[in-house]
Chain A
Amino acid sequence: MELNILIICYLIGSVTFIIGLKMLSHPESARRGNLIAAAGMAISILGTIFLYEEGGVKLGNYIWIFAALIIGTVLGTIAAKKVKMTAMPEMVSLFNGMGGACAALISIVEFDHLNHQIQSGGATDSGTLLIIFAGLIIGTISFAGSMIAWAKLNGRIKDFAFNGQHIMNLVIFAVIICLSAYLIISGDPAAGTLFYVVFVLSIIYGLFFVLPIGGADMPVVISLLNSFTGVAAAFGGFLYDNPVMLTGGILVGSAGTILTILMCKAMNRPLSNVLIGSFGGASSGAASKDQGAYKEISISDSAVVMSYAKKVMIVPGYGLAVAQAQHVCHELEKLLSDKGVEVNYAIHPVAGRMPGHMNVLLAEADVDYARLLEMEHANEEFPQTDVVLVLGANDVVNPAAKTDPGSPIYGMPVLDVELAKLVIINKRSMNPGYAGIENELFFQPKSSMLFGDAKSVLQKLVAEIKTL
């Protein structure tokens, strides 16, 4: 009877995951979808704790389980509630790493268990071994990789690459596969320590897999690692014949892969290029020719041209997010609208650090959805736009993506801001952006630079416009 209830719990869990993901794809139902998936997860977890049995034996160690659940819940809630909206991507990466580590730990314990069985003369099952190894390797790579992605987005570590790194990665990966294959096929109990060699090598592989990838590509990597963890969870489902782990894991595995591909499409680059490309490395050296001079514009001049313009387009980028300037930005927008200026936002699909990140940030500041224009729409508007205000965006407005086949971002769809009558670019300095590429836009006669931190510049602009 109780086992039947557990089956129903798992059925509810699996269905809520599917419905949740489905509802997450529509803005009106997204929040409910998330809650539904969470409810299904809670039912599956509680069902497992109280109803799961193996060979007629129920689970024990309740104190330990609940202690761990409480610790995890408290820490997780605090972390998730306290994180700033701008730091969201690294938070997702961190949580993803936790899931990967969880999958790896399960594999370690189960291998130890199996190893004891083998040593005491039990039969080996190569299928089970295969599942344990797959869970270990994928979970560990996801964990190590996520930690690097997290630290990179945090700014704790910089891009790091050396010659032959990709070859070294391939060699490490080949060694992992060969060692695992040997252990699975031979089932040699004496070779048990080799399991830990595979574990350590997987950590190293995860680190070096993500280290050379440029910071701008981290969203793609996080999405990919997200689907890795999903697959690792699914292997756990095989291990315990657990349908909810299987469906949940595989759903995330395939959904994450599709999301990764969608992100790459937004940048018009194949995934292989993202993973091997070492974006922001020395590749752009040839392009760094002398671009000539740029001109600057003062706060008061900017305030005047924007106040008397008919149409203003704001192009928010990561600089805006870093400076936490979304609220001031909204204030500027309201102020200009009151003066009769038509203000819109041009949102590049990969602006910010994740697709849709910019929308989240602007929504936080109460910006009206109708004002957020997607790239295609915005590009139609630029020729009729009087002033474009670029706030801390760089690569997404770089015309080199259209004109210079040698540029690392060549082919990426960009916002055609240069079609507008005047372009004001707010940046902290002339340093090249995330991708480390010069931007010829800054040197065009229509462009003017407005240096400074996005927030303080916007505050001064608001103050200036109020006095006009």
Chain B
Amino acid sequence: MFSWLSLHQEMIYIVILSVFLGIEVIGRVPSVLHTPLMSGANAIHGVVIIGAIIVMGKAESNNLLALTLGFLAVILGTLNVVGGFVVTDRMLEMFKKKK
């Protein structure tokens, strides 16, 4: 466990700093933008797709489990990313129009 900690020391620092960064960035959002913000954040956590791509990309051709689940994971991840950004854009498009 301790070796794991020292191995991931930098990442643990990133985690802690990112937590505070997230709070700082979000803390000042007007309530009008809460829905687009939630949707935008939803698209950003779609970054998990990178993990799915790695799983898929390094699966051996005889490993059916990794291939099928990886394939499914990439589709789901893409849905999350693309759907999320497009929906957010649609919402924000209407905000722009009012001027």
Contact = CB atoms under 8 A, between A and B. Distances in A.
Nearest to B59: A61
Interface in B1-33: 1, 3-5, 7-8, 11, 14-15, 18-23, 25-33
Contacts of A256: 38, 41
Nearest to B73: A105
Contacts of B21: 18, 251, 254
A71 to B, nearest CB: 5
B66 A112 contact: yes
Nearest to B80: A99
B48 to A, nearest CB: 4
Interface string B80-99: 11111111111111111110
A163 B35 CA distance: 34
B49 to A, nearest CB: 6
Contacts of B87: 80, 83, 88, 91-92, 95
B52 A13 contact: no
A45 B50 contact: yes
A366 to B, nearest CB: 7
Given A76-B82, A92-B39, A245 B50 contact: yes
A73 B78 contact: yes
Nearest to A361: B94
A140 B73 CA distance: 13
Contacts of B75: 68, 71-72, 75
B47 A102 contact: no
A192 interface: no
A357 interface: yes
A237 B22 contact: no
Given A20-B40, A238-B11, A103 B48 contact: yes
Contacts, number: 375
A35 B89 contact: yes
Nearest to A248: B47
A134 B44 CA distance: 20
In this complex, the member of A58, A112, A256 whose beta carbon has the largest number of chain B beta carbons within 10 angstroms is: A256
Interface in B46-78: 46-59, 61, 65-67, 69-78
Nearest to A250: B18
A367 B95 CA distance: 10
A266 B41 contact: no
A80 B82 contact: yes
A395 B58 CA distance: 53
Contacts of A374: 31
A258 interface: yes
A20 to B, nearest CB: 7
B25 A88 contact: no
Interface residues of B, number: 84
A173 interface: no
Interface in A98-121: 98-99, 101-103, 105-106, 108-110, 112-113
Interface in A248-297: 248-256, 258-259, 262-263, 266
A275 B45 CA distance: 23
Majority SS at the chain A contact face: helix
Contacts of B80: 76, 95-96, 98-99, 102
Interface in A224-242: 226, 229-230, 232-234, 236-242
A207 interface: no
A127 B1 contact: yes
A232 B29 CA distance: 24
Given A99-B45, A252-B44, A259 B26 contact: yes
A54 interface: yes
B38 A21 contact: no
Contacts of B72: 68, 105
Given A18-B25, A247-B18, A356-B32, A38 B67 contact: no
B47 to A, nearest CB: 4
Contacts of A18: 21, 25
Contacts of A22: 25
Given A233-B48, A357-B35, A360-B91, A61 B56 contact: yes
B88 A34 contact: yes
A244 B44 CA distance: 10
Contacts of B84: 76, 80, 92, 95
Contacts of A44: 47, 50
7 contacts: A88-B91, A91-B83, A127-B4, A242-B54, A246-B14, A254-B19, A258-B26
**Complex A-B, nearest 4 residue pairs according to Cβ-Cβ distance, in ascending order:** A72-B78, A59-B57, A127-B4, A254-B22
Given A65-B53, A69-B78, A240-B54, 12 more contacts: A21-B40, A31-B96, A41-B81, A45-B50, A61-B56, A64-B56, A64-B74, A68-B72, A95-B43, A230-B44, A242-B50, A259-B38
